[in-house]
Amino acid sequence: MILYLYPGRLYLQQGGCKVRIVRPANITINEIVKLAPRAAVISSGSGYHGHAGIVVPLIKGLVGSIPLLGIGSGGYLALAEVLAEI
């Protein structure tokens, strides 16, 4: 599982998930795809999701291939933006 959000990490790990935290400023979409995540929990952090680097392009690249969960208003809005285009 790829996770952009630190606070939820412990809950997911306690539930048996293997968690890897990545920051959009430090990784490319291709690098994330190579990690072969089984799911992704996405948060764009505080502020407008359009300013969150690769979040929207990443969702576009992953939607339909793995389960995605948006956390916080930025994550929800980024997912909604991509899904509205489908």
* Domain-wise residue ranges, the chain: 2-84
Q: Please tell me the predicted confidence (pLDDT) of residue 57.
A: 86
pLDDT at 67: 92
| pLDDT score recorded for residue 16 | 92
Give the integer Cα–Cα distance in Å for 52 and 26: 12
pLDDT per 10-residue tile (average), the chain, 86 residues: 63 87 82 90 67 78 89 76 83
The dihedral formed by the CA atoms of 79, 36, 53 and 41, expressed in degrees to the nearest 10: 40
> Would you identify the CATH topology of the domain 2-84?
Rossmann fold (3.40.50)
What pLDDT score was predicted for residue 1? Answer: 52
Instruction: Indicate the pTM of the whole model.
Output: 0.74
